[in-house]
């Protein structure tokens, strides 16, 4: 009876909101639930309880019952209502959201048996925080997809604790559990959250700003997923350490970690790098971040040999020692941004860096080929075999930045010399001096033979090769035979190289398996390559092509003579190509008859393999031989000059056709074909881009790329007294021609000082030495010194032996002086002095008078102005270059000189000094004309003074005589410290500068 009354009452309640039909259906469904007969009464009681807390929530629950039945069933209606009541106790609005959303959510939870358990957990959470409970329920389907149900409560317990700190952060954590659970074990979650909470920073009002933490919660799961599972917890711990000191460093660490870890060779290295990073992070966040960013490059440079770990550890410990006494020094050390840091990296290298031997290699090469040749490092990335190259103009040889082929430094250094010698041989013996003009008859024969073209001569030798049916093959023949010719001539001219060349060739040989689908042409060229280095035919040539290679090699022998030229090589290549075609054609006919009974086991398809349809795959030449480029050989000197783009164009393509160079060429980028050599000298590898810049050679400072036409940029170090070290490649000096202006100011100066100019010219003309100087009283000479002879006769008559210096010698005498004038053109030169003239105008007048004086004496001189803004944009403006004649162009540029920005004296001094050192003069002088102390943003005070002082000291050590002229009458407090090591003068009356500057110069060069 009681049950019937409960059903009737529930039907009435449901009917008010659902209608009698739907209410009746719901009652029938509830009454027939298995194992439960009191469900209608329990539902009625819970609806009554819910109505007491929130009538709207109770109505929402009733309205949601049909949807719940449709989506998930009514078997767990009691815990469903129970959770709603718990939510309504704290918030009716939350209960409304719950009843609206929960039917669909519960329907998504599988298996269905888990739904009551999910609601039970939600009920427990509601007792702690209703917001967490609701967010949990919304996320439950995705959470259960990645979290075992037995771990659900521990994961949610973390969220409950987090809500006590901040509700928004706690709810975001709940939302991210599905993304976090697959990438992070539960035991690491609290550490991960601790990291995120450290990113809470005060906003402008002093209140907590949670933006950083929210972004961390949303993005870090994906970042962790990119990290190897074995190092995730270490990466989180390190990022958390950094966040203790600087939140932005922690964020940067975690964000960059996946890419950095991928660049490390193994899990062991990843773990090692993170462990040491944690030690550095205890002291300084910026140093640790610099360390992490550099580690992949350092590890790549050090290598993966047995001793790589101890060498890396020594490098880190050296940085920790720096960190103990100088944080700034450690930051520069781990960023490899200082000279000491670079030296430490070089010590840790498992090979020999080019910079260590570049000067020796340069002298060696110049001794071989008798020309001024620059040495530079190859820009290829680490891990690839790097071949030496020659630039299009023949002025630059590029070598691997590091060689680690051998265990000892001595052997690697010797390898550098042999690689450089081979490229020097191409220069000395005329590989690229060849033009196509003497090959016209050969080109015509090739055209007729293969029915090619209209009779015009191709632009380059590569174009000639394109006339052949197999351009890759003919190019390979040229590379092999020309290298053989050059190597033979090197051995004849320099017998001391024979032993090393033979040793390298022997070690380079790695026979490749002919069964790997090689064509007959490839086997023949491979055999010729190996024979060209002196290997015995029995070992070098497969039996299947022994006869063909022997016949072709007899043809090639005529190239191995002292008189052979690069033209002879090209003509021989054509002969070998034609003879090879004849031999293969003959063999193909024989093979057609025999193919049914026999195929050669070494060749797979045998000599009858389709030689016309299968593409020829270039072979890989010996690494020490370097790369060759037929594009450098053109029709004539004029056209060749047009094509030579300078040192940036190098012989970077090896055997094989041009169109294949990037994909399959052994000197190309990737995808090398398995060849005779493979990585025969393994270790000839260049550095990553940043390390390549850091290991820039000092012997030939090349301008940096990316500069506008008419400009050049060079990087210079800068002395940092706070770390007592140079920051390498710190300042970028951009050199360009000064803008031309009106020469009226210069003309007016010359007119106004006409009398003084005449006096200066007469005076300086008097400094010009006579053609010959008469030296009397010499032991030998061209004529007798009459006065000395008379004195000797008188002394002998008086009983003395007398002086035997009785001759006059005439010695040629010249003023051997080069001087660079460096003028401060910063914004401070815009100030006016008592007479109303600006400082820059007085500097212009001084230089105009000085030019007249220097023109009279005939000294080699240049005028530069400097300014700039920031260390990456130090401007050096050329007013007059050393070899430029004084004229209207100089007057225009001098007249156009105007105040610009700031002045970074150290960089400007180093650049002017570098230009002076290129002048072949006995005396080199650098005159700095400045109106005050150096200032360029943070380049100021003690830092700027110490760097300027260091730059002047470097100039003196290099044999330059610096002299500083300043017009800052109040500079006693810093001038002695900045110019203390060099001569300087202070001109207290600026207007006197035009007169005094020429006199100062006269004293310097007297």
- Helix (H) / strand (E) element for 397: namely strand 396-399
Q: Tell me the mean pLDDT in the region 613-642.
A: 68
Ranked by mean pLDDT, which of 62-66, 258-262, 853-857 comes out on top? Answer: 258-262
The confidence score (pLDDT) of residue 288 equals: 93
Residue 275 — very low, low, confident or very high, per pLDDT cuts 50/70/90? Answer: very high
The confidence score (pLDDT) of residue 380 equals: 56
Distant-in-sequence, close-in-space partners of 4: CB < 8 Å, separation ≥ 6: none
Cα–Cα distance measured from residue 558 to residue 909, given in angstroms and rounded to the nearest whole number: 57
Question: Burial letters for 912-924: b for 16+ Cβ neighbours within 10 Å, e otherwise?
Answer: bbbbbeebebeeb
pLDDT higher than threshold 80 for residue 4: no
pLDDT higher than threshold 50 for residue 665: no
Better pLDDT: 718 or 11: 718
Calculate the average pLDDT of the chain.
77
Give the three-state DSSP class for 620.
Answer: coil
Distant-in-sequence, close-in-space partners of 497: CB < 8 Å, separation ≥ 6: 418, 421, 490, 491
pLDDT higher than threshold 90 for residue 280: yes
Q: How far is CA 917 from CA 249, 580, 912, in A?
A: 44, 55, 9
Q: What global pTM score does this model have?
A: 0.66
Residue percentage of the chain with pLDDT more than 90 = 9
Q: How far is CA 686 from the centre of its chain?
A: 11
Q: Is the CB of residue 569 less than 8 Å from the CB of residue 426?
A: no
Better pLDDT: 646 or 531: 531
Question: Burial letters for 651-682: b for 16+ Cβ neighbours within 10 Å, e otherwise?
Answer: bbbbbbbbebbeebbbbbeeebbebbbbbbbe
Q: Domain locations in the chain?
A: 227-350, 352-429, 437-594, 743-767+815-1005, 773-811
Q: Is the CB of residue 280 less than 8 Å from the CB of residue 317?
A: no
Q: Tell me the mean pLDDT in the region 341-354.
A: 78
Distant-in-sequence, close-in-space partners of 191: CB < 8 Å, separation ≥ 6: 233, 236, 237, 240
- Helix (H) / strand (E) element for 359: namely helix 354-369
pLDDT digits (tens, 9 = 90+) for 933-972: 788 888 888 898 889 889 988 988 888 888 887 776 665 6
Please report the DSSP string for 136-182 in residue order.
HHHHHHHHHHHS-GGGHHHHHHHHHHHHHH-HHHHHHHHHHHHHHTT
Distant-in-sequence, close-in-space partners of 510: CB < 8 Å, separation ≥ 6: 676, 677, 678, 680
Cα–Cα distance measured from residue 480 to residue 475, given in angstroms and rounded to the nearest whole number: 9
Q: Tell me the mean pLDDT in the region 660-674.
A: 32
Query: In this predicted structure, which of 402-416, 424-438, 585-599, 824-838 has the lowest mean pLDDT?
Result: 585-599
Query: In this predicted structure, which of 299-308, 672-681, 864-873, 911-920 has the lowest mean pLDDT?
Result: 672-681
pLDDT higher than threshold 60 for residue 771: no
User: Tokens 């030939």 label which residue?
Assistant: 700
Phi, psi of 920 (to 5 degrees): -85, 85
The confidence score (pLDDT) of residue 997 equals: 67
Give CA torsion, residues 844, 846, 849, 851, to 10 deg.
-70
Distant-in-sequence, close-in-space partners of 469: CB < 8 Å, separation ≥ 6: 450, 612
Residue 105 — very low, low, confident or very high, per pLDDT cuts 50/70/90? Answer: confident
Cα–Cα distance measured from residue 602 to residue 600, given in angstroms and rounded to the nearest whole number: 6
The CATH architecture one would assign to domain 743-767+815-1005 is 3-Layer(aba) Sandwich (3.40)
pLDDT higher than threshold 70 for residue 641: no
Better pLDDT: 106 or 998: 106
Q: Is the CB of residue 988 less than 8 Å from the CB of residue 970?
A: no
The confidence score (pLDDT) of residue 284 equals: 92
pLDDT digits (tens, 9 = 90+) for 497-553: 877 777 776 666 555 555 556 778 888 888 888 887 777 777 767 777 788 888 888
Residue 763 — very low, low, confident or very high, per pLDDT cuts 50/70/90? Answer: low
């Amino acid at each position: 009876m009681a049950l019937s009354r409960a059903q009737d009452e529930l039907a009435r309640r449901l009917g008010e909101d659902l209608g009698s039909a739907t209410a009746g259906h719901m009652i029938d469904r509830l009454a027939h639930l298995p194992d439960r007969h009191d469900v209608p009464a329990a539902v009625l009681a819970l609806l009554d309880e819910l109505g007491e807390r929130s009538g709207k929530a109770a109505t929402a629950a009733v309205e949601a019952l049909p949807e719940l039945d449709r989506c998930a069933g009514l078997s767990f209606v009691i815990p469903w209502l129970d959770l709603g009541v718990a939510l309504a106790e704290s918030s009716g609005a939350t209960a409304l959201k719950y009843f609206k959303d929960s039917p669909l959510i519960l329907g998504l939870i599988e298996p269905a048996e888990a739904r009551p358990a999910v609601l039970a957990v939600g009920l427990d959470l509601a007792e702690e925080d209703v917001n967490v409970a609701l967010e949990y329920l919304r996320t439950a389907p995705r959470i259960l997809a990645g979290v075992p149900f037995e771990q659900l409560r521990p994961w949610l317990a973390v969220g409950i604790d987090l809500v006590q700190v901040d509700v928004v952060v706690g709810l975001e954590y709940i939302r991210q559990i599905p993304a976090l659970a697959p990438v992070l074990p539960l035991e690491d979650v609290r550490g991960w959250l601790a990291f995120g909470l450290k990113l809470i920073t005060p906003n402008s009002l002093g209140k907590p700003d949670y933006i950083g933490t929210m972004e961390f919660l949303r993005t870090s799961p994906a970042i962790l997923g990119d990290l190897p599972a074995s190092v995730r917890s270490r990466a989180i711990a390190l990022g958390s350490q950094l966040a203790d000191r600087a939140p932005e460093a922690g964020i940067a660490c975690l964000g960059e970690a996946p890419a950095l870890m991928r660049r490390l060779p193994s899990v062991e290295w990843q773990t090692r790098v993170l462990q040491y990073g944690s030690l550095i992070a205890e002291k300084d966040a910026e140093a640790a971040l610099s360390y992490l960013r550099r580690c992949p490059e350092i590890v790549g440079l050090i290598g993966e040999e047995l001793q790589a770990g101890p060498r890396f550890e020594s490098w880190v410990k050296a940085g920790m020692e720096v960190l103990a006494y100088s944080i700034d020094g450690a930051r520069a050390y781990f960023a490899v941004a200082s000279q000491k840091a670079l030296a430490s990296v070089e010590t840790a290298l498992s090979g020999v860096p080019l910079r260590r031997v570049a000067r020796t290699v340069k002298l060696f090469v110049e001794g071989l080929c008798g020309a001024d040749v620059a040495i530079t490092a190859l820009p290829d990335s680490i891990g690839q075999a790097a071949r030496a190259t020659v630039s299009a103009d023949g002025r630059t040889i590029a070598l691997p930045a590091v060689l680690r082929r051998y265990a000892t430094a001595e052997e690697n250094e010797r390898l550098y010399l042999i690689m450089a010698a081979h490229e020097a041989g191409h220069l000395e013996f005329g590989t690229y001096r060849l033009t196509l003009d003497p090959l016209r008859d050969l080109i015509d024969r090739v055209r007729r033979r293969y029915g090619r073209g209209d009779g015009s001569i191709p632009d380059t030798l590569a174009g000639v090769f394109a006339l052949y049916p197999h351009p890759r093959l003919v190019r390979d023949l040229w590379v092999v035979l020309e290298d053989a010719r050059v190597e033979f001539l090197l051995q004849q001219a320099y017998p001391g190289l024979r032993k090393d060349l033979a040793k390298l060739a022997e070690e380079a040989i790695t026979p490749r398996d002919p069964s790997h689908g090689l064509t007959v042409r490839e086997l023949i060229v491979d055999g010729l390559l190996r024979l060209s280095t002196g290997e015995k035919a029995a070992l070098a040539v497969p039996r299947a092509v022994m006869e063909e290679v022997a016949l072709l090699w007899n043809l090639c022998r005529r190239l191995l003579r002292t008189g052979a030229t690069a033209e002879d090589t090209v003509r021989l290549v054509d002969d070998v190509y034609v003879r090879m075609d004849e031999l293969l054609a003959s063999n193909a006919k024989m093979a057609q008859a025999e193919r049914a009974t026999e195929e050669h086991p070494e060749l797979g398809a045998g000599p009858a393999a389709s030689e016309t349809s299968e593409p020829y795959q270039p072979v890989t030449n010996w690494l020490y031989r370097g790369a060759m480029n037929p594009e450098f050989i053109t029709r004539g000197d004029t056209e060749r000059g047009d094509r030579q783009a300078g040192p940036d164009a190098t012989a970077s393509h090896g055997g094989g056709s041009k169109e294949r160079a990037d994909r399959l060429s052994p000197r190309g980028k990737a995808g090398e074909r398995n060849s005779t050599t493979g990585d025969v000298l393994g270790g000839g590898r260049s550095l990553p881009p940043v390390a390549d810049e850091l290991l820039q050679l000092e012997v030939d400072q090349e301008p940096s790329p990316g500069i506008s036409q008419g400009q050049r940029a060079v990087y210079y170090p800068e002395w940092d007294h706070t770390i007592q070290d140079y920051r390498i490649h710190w300042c970028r000096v951009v050199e360009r021609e000064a803008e031309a202006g009106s020469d009226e100011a210069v003309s007016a100066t010359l007119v106004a000082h006409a009398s003084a100019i005449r006096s200066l010219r007469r005076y300086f003309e008097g400094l010009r030495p006579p053609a010959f100087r008469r030296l009397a009283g010499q032991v030998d000479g061209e004529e007798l010194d009459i006065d000395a002879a008379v004195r000797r006769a008188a002394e002998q008559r008086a009983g003395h032996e007398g002086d035997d210096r009785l001759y006059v010698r005439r010695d040629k005498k010249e003023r051997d002086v080069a001087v660079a004038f460096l003028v401060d053109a910063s914004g401070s030169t815009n100030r006016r002095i008592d007479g109303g003239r600006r400082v820059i105008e007085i500097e212009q007048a001084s230089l105009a008078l000085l030019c007249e004086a220097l023109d009279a004496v005939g000294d080699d001189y240049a005028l530069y102005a400097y300014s700039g803004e920031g260390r990456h944009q130090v401007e050096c403006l050329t007013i007059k270059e050393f070899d430029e004649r004084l004229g209207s162009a100089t007057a225009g540029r001098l007249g156009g000189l105007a105040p610009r920005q700031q002045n970074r004296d150290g960089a400007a001094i180093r650049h002017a000094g570098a230009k002076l050192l290129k002048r072949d003069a006995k005396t080199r002088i650098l005159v700095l004309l400045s109106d005050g102390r150096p200032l360029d943003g943070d380049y100021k005070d003690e830092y700027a003074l110490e760097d300027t002082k260091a730059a002047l000291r470097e100039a003196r050590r290099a044999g330059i005589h610096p002299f500083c002229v300043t017009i800052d009458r109040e500079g006693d407090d810093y001038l002695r410290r900045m110019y203390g090591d060099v001569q300087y003068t202070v001109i207290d009356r600026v207007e006197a500068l035009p007169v005094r500057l020429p006199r100062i110069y006269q004293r310097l060069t007297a």
